[in-house]
Amino acid sequence: MNLENSINEFKLAQEVIPGGVNSPVRAFKSVHCSPIFISKAKGSKIFDIDGNQYIDFVSSWGPMILGHAHDDVLEAINTTAANGTSYGAPTKLETLMAQKIISMIPSVEKVRMVNSGTEATMSAIRLARGFTKKEAIIKFSGNYHGHGDSFLIKAGSGALTLGLPDSPGVTKNTAKDTLIADYNDLDSVERLLIEKSDQIAAIIVEPVAGNMGLVLPNNTFLQGLRELSDKYNCLLIFDEVMTGFRLAAGGAQEYYNVKADLTTLGKIIGGGLPVGAYGGKKEIMDYLAPNGPVYQAGTLSGNPLAMSAGLTVLNKLDNDFYENLETISNKIHIGLTKNIKDTNTNAVVNRNGSMLTLFFTDLNQVNNYDDAIKCDTDKFADYFQIMLEQGIYLPPSPYECLFFSSSLTDNDINKFINANKIALEKLKK
């Protein structure tokens, strides 16, 4: 595979962009190779600047649930753009988006649009602190809620990928207000609540953890968090930037039948354009300015391009869509599991809906941060490179998820499963 143009472009980028990329995981550091530069995408395929074609299992880290450059989404963007791309003033599209989100997620009664998942989570904890008049929050090891100061304590995603679980630039006072519990361990949460019950504004959690690889909640975890939040009078925030509209129309809250007080959203609701949102109970959301004292604003919040693209996607997410996506995801899961068994590879597949991670590990299961960091990252790097050479584009980190799109064909699925078997066989040699 010729990657000469991508290699040269990366050298140029490093001269003018820190690390050559605008988001750290894109640098391919953890997979020990140079990143590929993308020129275009359509459906389930992406193409690099050297002319190589790949089947895409990243889906822009989740938003492209319909596949790339979907005709209806492009039409909505083009039609909207012809009337202007941003006004800094209200539009009907924002109300339509809010109504759509509220209709799909039962716990959301009002919603505020922002520009990224990070902005959504930062705003949600500010609102929680303002509403409860408490300052501390509880988060979980390996959960990633964007790059806000309060969250870069034992964080997942790129921070974990690059071995930077704590970031310089985060003040000690900010860090002391972030308390760390263990995912899938309710006792670790209650200990913190007992110790600082009068100080904790909220518990924030990825209901399905997607940033230390995919880690599923156990049967009692999410409902237990709901009960603990009620018992100790703090808010429960579900970070559904990944899981929102992906696991089900109502996200993880519908899938697991647990309601949060506040929900953060992103990715899919922008149809591939920059977007975020947070919403919840009216009494909490009305604490935001201009109704209440908690301030948050954004010049491009609710911009018409993202609203039109996102609405086009959300309007396609019916029961038939999710049944088809589950069929695609299940075929892949079965194929990978069979390959692992046939090649006698030490690996575990975690999947929920159209999100999946393959962990190279001697463990029988991966249930938390401590389990995830025991995976064989060097073996993953070799695996990634073998798959890339076969035209399969995977997340360039052992601590990220694959995101499947409805554009994947049976031919794509078979190619992926076959490539996976070849890769596992090569890794055994």
**pLDDT tens figures, 188-202:** 999 999 999 899 999
Q: Residue 274 is encoded by which pair of tokens? A: 């920059």
Per-residue pLDDT averaged across 319-345, rounded?
Answer: 98
Give the model's pLDDT for residue 305.
97
Residue 162: the pLDDT is 42
pLDDT, average across residues 275-294:
97
Closest residue by Cα to residue 368 from 141, 139, 138 = 141
pLDDT score, position 146: 82
Q: What's the rounded mean pLDDT across residues 162-175?
A: 63
Return the structure tokens found at 126: 């500010």
Give pLDDT, residue 164: 45
Question: What mean pLDDT comes out for the span 3-25?
Answer: 96
What does the alpha-carbon distance between residue 138 and residue 191 come to, in Å, rounded to a whole number?
A: 11
What is the mean predicted confidence (pLDDT) over 313-334?
98
Mean pLDDT of 311-327: 98
Give the Cα separation of 55 and 52 in Å (integer).
Answer: 10
Which one of 139, 267, 369, 393 is the catalytic residue?
267
Rounded to the nearest 10 degrees, what angle do helices 221-231 and 186-195 cross at? 10
For all residues of the chain together, what is the average pLDDT? 94
Q: To the nearest whole percent, how much of the chain has pLDDT over 70? A: 96
Q: Catalytic residue among 54, 144, 183, 255, which?
A: 144
Q: What amino acid occupies position 221?
A: F
How many helices, marked H, and strands, marked E, lie in the chain?
15, 14
Residue with tokens 């790339």: 68
pLDDT per residue over 208-230, tens digit each?
999 899 999 999 999 999 999 99
> Is the pLDDT at 155 greater than 60, yes or no?
no
Compute the distance between CA of residue 275 and CA of residue 342 in angstroms, rounded to an integer.
43
pLDDT band at 57 (very low <50, low <70, confident <90, very high): very high
Cβ contacts of 175 within 8 Å, gap of 6 or more: 153, 166
Helices 92-104 and 304-314 cross at an angle (nearest 10°) of: 30
Average pLDDT, integer, range 388-403 = 96
**Which domains are present in the chain?**
4-65+318-428 (3.90.1150.10), 71-314 (3.40.640.10)
- Does an H or E element contain 402, and which? strand 402-403
* Confidence (pLDDT) at 154: 58
Segment 99-126 shows an average pLDDT of: 96
β 235-239/45-48 pair status: unpaired
Would the pLDDT of 85 be above 70?
yes
What percent of the residues of the chain are helix, what percent strand, and what percent coil, each to the nearest 5?
45, 15, 40
Q: What is the pLDDT of residue 243?
A: 96
Please count the other Cβ atoms lying within 10 Å of the Cβ belonging to residue 130. Answer: 18
Distance CA 376, CA 370 (A): 13
The pTM (predicted TM-score) of the whole model is 0.94
Is residue 160 scored above 50 in pLDDT? Answer: no
Active site residue 239: yes
Q: Is the pLDDT of residue 161 over 50?
A: no
- Position 116, amino acid: S
Q: Are 266 and 116 in contact (CB under 8 A)?
A: yes
Per annotation, catalytic residue among 239, 261, 371, 412: 239
144 is catalytic: yes
Spatial neighbors of 163 by CB under 8 A, at least 6 apart, are: none
How far apart are the C-alpha atoms of 115 and 300, rounded to whole Å? Answer: 7
How far apart CA 60 and CA 68 sit, in angstroms, is 9
3-state secondary structure of 282: helix
CA distance 278 to 124: 6
